[in-house]
Structure 1
Amino acid sequence: MHPWIGLSDEVRLGLLTEWIVPELVDEVLTACGRLDAKPRPLSSRFMVYYVLALALFQQDSYDDVAENLVGALGEMDQSVPNKSSFTRARQQLGAAPVEGVFRRVAGAIAPRTLEAAFWRGMRVAAVDGFLLDVPENDTTRAAFGGQVDSVGRPIGFPQARVVTLTETGTHATIDARIGSFKGGGGEPALATEMAGSAAGMLVIMDRAFPGVALWKAYTRAGAHLLIRARTFVAAKPMEVLPDGTYLTRMNLAGQRRSHPGGVTVRVIDYQVDGGETARLLTDLLDPESWPAEELAALYHERWEVESAYRQLKTCQRGKTEVLRSASPELVRQEIWAHLTLHHCLNRIIMRLADGEGLDPDRISFVKVLKHTRRSVVLQAGQSTRRLGQFMKRMATKVVRKLDNGLRRLRAADRYTRHPVSQYIVRKKDQVRRGTRRVPEKVITLTPAILQ
């Protein structure tokens, strides 16, 4: 009998076990029909923890990750199965149980006392998407697609698309969808699927998202919208409001403004530091209840979702790392693991910040990630007492070591990057400048004129 039989079910995931408890994992496995009928070395419960550990230790090999998980459980580190056994066990598990765990733990986490997470009583969230490189082979290329050149030849790796609904105040993921690089409507279609999770929230999106179908989905779900739009969208005022914003109709292409299939939107035009005019669309129509100046300033909270993506893509996954999974099903399994891990890490950050009365933006994600990895290596089976002591030691380091201080006002120029090159591409006369401190931005509304 393999020495792991009976012991692998004792494996935990360090500090993350507070939210991903064995009972939750077993419930998800039962719902997905993956609960083991008989004991085996690589049990289904162990494999859920193992897949999450693969995301936590992204740069480590299969056997190194296994040793990190079982090193504190006596003799288990002397009989680690080979890589092929772990691969087969991952294939048997599939992506559904890991997605199920994500959906059980994901959600908004900011308490009402965290004022930065709310605006006029509404929780603020943002929708956006990002791409992850996956290994190159025929199946991943067919399933996800990728960038191509002018004659249709593939450029770079295949890429999976991920769209999330993220709480801006904490970077916690509320909902997510996984799709392909092209096909299925892209980011707007995936975002529309998440409308039900945004009820009661004010959701911010960039100018890739405006559309009648998405607008109706979110407003019918009880959410409010603040979406950036190109200046030719909703450009003809129907009614100018006292604050200079105006009401108009947004319709499908080719429809008249009077068409019943459209939606009424309020348009806010403004400039930042006297630069180009930016346009926002919102369903908050009353200028007295929902001031345009506040909405224009609030839109820039959308960039918090970019900070969340940096945490996941650069700090957690590793800069320019390609996912380790070589089949579409395992790619999805790995992405759900990364999303679950990222959400739980932000729960830890929220716990530490709340205990010290700090804004969660001040807690270092990288240092919390490192401490969480250490907690997995130091765990002692079912010893919740030891993990509790480790969490207390983390809390005592918040002000001294984990606190990054108040966020500084900084800016950095944006450059393009070629898909197959790690080097930044700049225009011939473009001077590269590093990150620098800047004064606070000045927002000026641009009043509309009824023509």
Structure 2
Amino acid sequence: MGLSDQVRLGALTRWVTPELVDEVVAAQGRRDKRVGALPAGLMVHFVLGLALFHQDSYDDVAENMVSAIPELGGTIPNKSSFTRARQRLGPQVLEVVFRRVSGPLAAEGLAESFYRGLRVAAVDGFYLDAPDTAANRAAFGGQVTADGSPLAYPQVRVVALSEVGTHAVLDARVGGLVDSEQGLAAPLAARARGILVIMDRGFVGVSLWSEFTGAGAHLLIRAKANNARTPIEHLPDGTYLAKIWKWVGKRRTHSVTVRVVEYQVDGGETIRLLTDLLDPAEAPADELAALYHDRWEAELLNRQLKTYQRGSQQILRSAEPDLVRQEVWAHLTVHHCLSRLITEIAGRHKIDPDRISFVKVLKAVRRSVIQNTTNTPAKLGKFLASLASKLPKLDIGPRRDRAADRIVKRLKLKYADPPKGWTRQPTRRTPPKIITLLPRLV
């Protein structure tokens, strides 16, 4: 065993174990052909370290990981050596590590994680900016001007299936702006059996619906304005059955039957939900209307990964598409491990995981890497017990009902300019929302 085998990921070593890394490296055919300073196993930990310390340089990340091992302090290779080692490793190893680590976390009965015996998850997509290289733009695509000139950064599109109660990513697909959200979401159906999956209206489609229901999942999706507006059967609770169709050109090909729930929040716009839970007795309309708004938990997951873990308005560090994908899988792996740690701490104190500060846990894990104080199972257990005992510092309290104006802080590409005379209001407390069903009775 060389000194490089002593490099660990602090508290995350509990799930990304040396044995797991060695097994995945061997299975993917990335085992080292000759002894070198940057073996494949070390590089798996290093790439995960790049995600954990995203705002630090290669040298700083390496220093963080070996600072408690004096013998390695003066042997840190230069950036080009790390880049070549990352290229040899490829993206597949990190993807497999993520899939080996990921999975449901919520214990039975955890608030927001279950609905009438069904685990609740959400599908949502988000973007990560990649360095503006020709290779990245060709692989991922990016915004362009009216005349086709490149605008802003190439964008990586990530679509994730995540547990709403814990923010744990159960599965994900990595593509680019050139890929559709529905196309990336379809393979996630394989991990959704027995789960009630919530999606927004961008995912409405017969093909995607059939993928998930065919895999044994249940769906709750917000409808587009022109979806399922014509009832084919009125139900006793005021909801109704309708069809959504698949279109090829101007011709309808086939359809699926859905149940439609209509309601308003605080007397605002009418929201229409589509579900495959057709029996009102087994899935009352008022419960489904309230449940849909848990989809927002996926947005909070996005913020944890993009704003806190990666860093606000930061771009990824990789100039090549394969290294970008490698980096994204590393971010997803680190986020899942942090979610597992948060869920465990919350479980020990019997509180909701959303009361545990993601930022404080992230900082504690970073310190555990730098200090290398959790490099054995016994020390890991001691660290976790110590972290769990600091509940007053980690507990941010029950979530409050608040509202904030939605604005784009960077280059405006998606949203229209605000109305003349509009000024942004600060984040403010709001009373609980009132949901009013809009039954269609015969």
Into which bin does the TM-score normalised by the smaller protein fall? over 0.9
Match of 1:227 in 2: 221
Q: Given residue 300 of structure 2, which amino acid in structure 1 is its aligned partner?
A: S
Match of 2:384 in 1: 391
Match of 1:154 in 2: 150
CA distance in structure 2 between the aligned counterparts of 1:373 and 1:418, rounded to whole angstroms: 28
Match of 2:36 in 1: 40
- Which residue, out of 335, 339, 360, partners 2:332? 339
Q: How many pairs were matched up?
A: 441
CA distance in structure 1 between the aligned counterparts of 2:195 and 2:437, rounded to whole angstroms: 24
Is the Cα contact below 8 Å between 1:11 and 1:381 reproduced in 2? no
Q: Given residue 334 of structure 1, which amino acid in structure 2 is its aligned partner?
A: E
Is the Cα contact below 8 Å between 1:379 and 1:387 reproduced in 2? no
- Is 2:202 the counterpart of 1:208? yes
Question: Deviation at 1:36?
Answer: 1.7
- Which residue, out of 274, 279, 302, partners 1:281? 274
CA distance in structure 1 between the aligned counterparts of 2:61 and 2:250, rounded to whole angstroms: 59
CA distance in structure 2 between the aligned counterparts of 1:153 and 1:404, rounded to whole angstroms: 45
- Is 2:177 the counterpart of 1:167? no
Fraction of identical pairs, as percent: 57
Question: Deviation at 1:9?
Answer: 1.6
Q: Please show how residues 5-154 of structure 1 align to structure 2 within 5 Å.
A: 6-154=2-150
Question: Deviation at 1:449?
Answer: 5.2
Match of 1:196 in 2: 190
Q: CA RMSD in A?
A: 1.9
Is the Cα contact below 8 Å between 2:246 and 2:253 reproduced in 1? no
Question: Deviation at 1:381?
Answer: 7.8
Match of 1:428 in 2: 420
- Is 2:370 the counterpart of 1:370? no
Question: Deviation at 1:334?
Answer: 0.4
Q: Given residue 56 of structure 2, which amino acid in structure 1 is its aligned partner?
A: D
CA distance in structure 1 between the aligned counterparts of 2:86 and 2:416, rounded to whole angstroms: 37
Question: Deviation at 1:27?
Answer: 1.1
CA distance in structure 2 between the aligned counterparts of 1:213 and 1:254, rounded to whole angstroms: 12
Q: Given residue 386 of structure 2, which amino acid in structure 1 is its aligned partner?
A: R
- Which residue, out of 393, 400, 403, partners 1:401? 393
- Is 2:176 the counterpart of 1:177? no
Worse-superposed segment, 199-208 or 58-67: 58-67
CA distance in structure 2 between the aligned counterparts of 1:39 and 1:407, rounded to whole angstroms: 52
Question: Deviation at 1:288?
Answer: 1.0
Is the Cα contact below 8 Å between 2:401 and 2:429 reproduced in 1? yes
SS in 2 for 1:271: strand
Q: Deviations over 1:207-263 (max 9, x none)?
A: 100000000000010000000012321110000101111001111126999x77210
CA distance in structure 1 between the aligned counterparts of 2:155 and 2:215, rounded to whole angstroms: 31
Distance 1:74 1:162, change over 3 A: same
**TM-score, normalization: structure 1?**
0.94
- Is 2:438 the counterpart of 1:446? yes
Match of 2:258 in 1: 265
Match of 1:236 in 2: 230
CA distance in structure 1 between the aligned counterparts of 2:412 and 2:87, rounded to whole angstroms: 30
Q: Given residue 61 of structure 2, which amino acid in structure 1 is its aligned partner?
A: V
Question: Deviation at 1:424?
Answer: 11
Q: Deviations over 1:296-339 (max 9, x none)?
A: 00000000000000000000000000101100000000000000
Match of 2:312 in 1: 319
Is the Cα contact below 8 Å between 2:164 and 2:298 reproduced in 1? yes
Distance 1:366 1:271, change over 3 A: same
Question: Deviation at 1:75?
Answer: 1.2
CA distance in structure 2 between the aligned counterparts of 1:381 and 1:339, rounded to whole angstroms: 22
Q: Given residue 44 of structure 1, which amino acid in structure 2 is its aligned partner?
A: A
Distance 1:11 1:381, change over 3 A: farther
CA distance in structure 2 between the aligned counterparts of 1:443 and 1:432, rounded to whole angstroms: 26
Distance 1:449 1:341, change over 3 A: same
Q: Deviations over 1:8-56 (max 9, x none)?
A: 1221110000000011111111111001234321111100000000000
Q: Deviations over 1:320-378 (max 9, x none)?
A: 00101100000000000000000000000001000111110000000000000000011
**TM-score, normalization: structure 2?**
0.96
Is the Cα contact below 8 Å between 2:121 and 2:197 reproduced in 1? yes
CA distance in structure 1 between the aligned counterparts of 2:374 and 2:404, rounded to whole angstroms: 46
Is the Cα contact below 8 Å between 1:417 and 1:424 reproduced in 2? no
Unaligned ranges ≥5, structure 2: none
- Which residue, out of 240, 252, 256, partners 1:246? 240
